[in-house]
Amino acid sequence: MDPTATITIDHAAAPLLEVYGLGVEIGDGERALRPVDGVDLQIHAGKTFALLGESGCGKSMTALALARLLPDGGRVVAGEVRLAGESLLSLPESAMRRVRGGRIGMIFQEPATSLNPVMSVGAQIVEALAAHALRGAAARDEACRLLEAVGIPDPARRLQEFPFQFSGGMKQRVMIAMALAGRPRVLIADEPTTALDVTIQAQVLDLLGDIQRREGMGLLLITHDLGVVARMAHSVGVMYAGQVVETGPRAAFFTTPLHPYSRKLFAALPGMEKRGAALDAPSGSVPALDRSFSGCRFAERCAAAFDRCDEEAPGWHRVGAQSVRCHLYEGVSVPRALDAEHHGEAPAAQRGSVQPVLEVRDLEVHFPVRRGLLKRTVGHVRAVDGVSLRLMPGRTLALVGESGCGKTTVGKAILRLIEPSAGSLLLDGEAYSALPQHALPAFRRAVQMVFQDPFASLNPRMRVGEIIEEGLQALASEGDATTREARVVELLERVGLTGEMRWRYPHEFSGGQRQRIAVARALAVSPRVIVCDEPTSALDVSVQAQLLNLMRTLQHEQGLAYLFITHNLAVVEYLADDVAVMYLGRIVEAGPLARVLGVRAHPYTRALLAAVPRVQVEVEVELGADAGGVTRDAGAGARAAIELPSPMNPPAGCHFHPRCPQATDVCRASYPALTDLGQGHSVRCHWPQRGE
């Protein structure tokens, strides 16, 4: 078959995958968990069904049940799953092994843990091919073709390499290649872009779309990212507490979401229009999986709930092209217009003094490259190469860029967790970059950090109260044990938790709660600056909104300065006052939020913004029903098309020129000097775009 050919699909045909009343239990007895409880969905050839909802709603467990890959103790207790008319739940395990990979492929959420670290990438793909009767030279040739098909350059060489030699985006491509090895008819993609930066996310989504069109696959896309849903889906299902509560075509869903939970998901999205106001996140959290329900599962978090919602579980109601499980729509046949949501106040006035609380001048961080048995140093990687930043009281500076550009290294160097190779660090005008380690505690009271992965940064052997109190003992003078305990309780309540939770361990909390604990630990010593390294990465939209509301409130009350390291540009639009765009160790554009995101003077800034999926429905009129519900940025042609170069061997001249659509000979010959565009806006580009 010609790999570039596109299969013609009859969308009026019967669905490829049909799921009716699916129920899953884990464990036995009264405390058995019911993560999936009566799920119905249909997936057609060549179409994408997006299943979205908060963490803990049962999305991933539904996917595992479809492929009969449930964890130990898990079992399907109800329902039917049919693939092309054949019942999968009644197949013996020997027959199901041929279905997995052959007729149903699966891309797991985290490629770094799904790939075997001690096997080469080629061996893992060949292993998948061998399960479908392809071996020897033919299997190796097919593995090479698959890597090429998913956009990995020099596939013959890369087959011999191991997962640690691949970037996050390339590991995800390897997972896609393995999932495609058996040419499946249905592909299940479980959060395929979680924690990827926007440019790699765009590449992975484009790749999935291209493969789907070529192969005519049905795609089940599991995600909590509404932008990804808008870009990829044909149909949408919203899942809550083990049940699907709303389904419908993408256009109808994004125009008029029906279920109160769906509307809350939209209201929780950050964005420019909501600056200065709290995000309307759903209160509370998804109920425990071992609960039994007599009424609507969302009732305790729903502002529109009434007595019947607590007493009677709602049935399905057909409303236009959509279906919704909600008492509010009984007898309603035409969708009601979406209620006007509170989009926030005008951006707050410029806050803080004119003097920076923390200043970074010409910061450099070099890592040695060692080779040979004697580990001799043969060179250095300039991970950070001359970065200058100013953090103002009561303001947020967002540091954005792709993974691998040096953002986290900047954050750690500011706290002296990594020692700078050159440059100056100043707190209130006084340099601390050369202070000896024994003199740093006083500085660390003023500057704290919230790390990207709260589970990895919280000691699993210590109770939450001990984790927070540890900082008080080390860096603060909080008096006796009774005084410190009172402070711990106060901090937990300040971040929306309870004092009783101080006796629990980190593994007993959800991801969003662990991130709140990390914020409480950072606040324990009353800092003036907090470095936030991807604090909302991999959080679902409602938990993200709760955390952003908390950070915004703390900043307004305490005048905190934030360095917010992220690749989530919607969060930047909502929270940041100033933006610095980083590429291969250097700041290429910086200035006030409105200037940087409005002018987009550097081609790299335009490429980042072009890669962001936007939740906008006007595109349905402009592009047609099958074009994807995402607005393409005017600079979409500037999207970076190749992988980020290695900082070990940065390109000569402007580092961005190999990926830049407007590069010229001068870009290849020399690195651009800093250009002042006025209003605090600067850029390093030979041909900057200039605003009015």
CA angle (29 as vertex; 25, 32 as ends), nearest 5: 30
The string over 643-669, giving b where at least 16 C-beta atoms fall within 10 Å of a residue's C-beta and e elsewhere, is bbbebeebbebbbbbbbbeebeeebee
**Mean pLDDT calculated for residue range 123-131:** 89
Lowest mean pLDDT among 234-248, 380-394, 486-500: 486-500
Contact (Cβ atoms closer than 8 angstroms) between residue 571 and residue 544: yes
The DSSP output letter for 406 is S
- Rounded CA-CA distance 495/522 in Å is 11
Q: Grade residue 10 by pLDDT with cuts at 50, 70 and 90.
A: very low
User: Would you kindly state where each structural domain of the chain is located, as residue ranges?
Assistant: 17-103+184-329, 118-182, 358-576, 604-684
CA dihedral (354, 359, 360, 362) in degrees, to 10, reads 60
Lowest mean pLDDT among 282-291, 301-310, 639-648: 639-648
Q: Which pLDDT belongs to residue 667?
A: 96
Give Cβ neighbours of residue 397 (< 8 Å, ≥ 6 apart). Answer: 389, 390, 391, 561, 562, 563, 564, 576, 577, 578, 579, 580
User: What share of the chain has pLDDT > 70, as a percent?
Assistant: 90
Q: Grade residue 336 by pLDDT with cuts at 50, 70 and 90.
A: low
CA dihedral (174, 177, 181, 184) in degrees, to 10, reads 130
- Rounded CA-CA distance 98/585 in Å is 48
pLDDT digits (tens, 9 = 90+) for 355-372: 899 999 999 999 888 877
- The answer to whether the Cα torsion of 455, 459, 465, 468 is positive or negative is negative
pLDDT digits (tens, 9 = 90+) for 191-232: 888 767 787 788 888 888 888 888 889 999 998 889 889 999
User: What share of the chain has pLDDT > 90, as a percent?
Assistant: 49
**Mean pLDDT calculated for residue range 589-610:** 94
Contact (Cβ atoms closer than 8 angstroms) between residue 22 and residue 79: yes
Distances (CA, A) of 354 to 12, 230, 394, 470, 577: 64, 42, 11, 34, 14
Q: Look at residue 2 and tell me whether its pLDDT is greater than 80.
A: no
Pick among 3.40.640.10, 3.40.50.620, 2.60.40.3880, 3.40.50.300: CATH of 17-103+184-329: 3.40.50.300
Q: Which pLDDT belongs to residue 623?
A: 31
Q: Grade residue 5 by pLDDT with cuts at 50, 70 and 90.
A: very low
What residue type is assigned to position 60 of the chain?
S
Q: Which pLDDT belongs to residue 323?
A: 95
CA angle (184 as vertex; 128, 10 as ends), nearest 5: 170
The string over 7-16, giving b where at least 16 C-beta atoms fall within 10 Å of a residue's C-beta and e elsewhere, is eebeeeeebb
Q: Which pLDDT belongs to residue 631?
A: 40
Helix axes 168-179, 136-149, angle to 10 degrees: 130
Helices (H) and strands (E) in the chain, counts: 24, 24
Contact (Cβ atoms closer than 8 angstroms) between residue 647 and residue 407: no
Contact (Cβ atoms closer than 8 angstroms) between residue 685 and residue 599: no
pTM score of the predicted model:
0.80
Confirm whether 17-103+184-329 and 358-576 share one CATH topology: yes
The DSSP output letter for 353 is -
Domain 358-576 has CATH 3.40.50.300: yes
Give Cβ neighbours of residue 392 (< 8 Å, ≥ 6 apart). Answer: 351, 352, 353, 355, 356, 357, 561, 577, 578
**Mean pLDDT calculated for residue range 7-29:** 78
Q: Look at residue 413 and tell me whether its pLDDT is greater than 90.
A: yes
What residue type is assigned to position 14 of the chain?
A
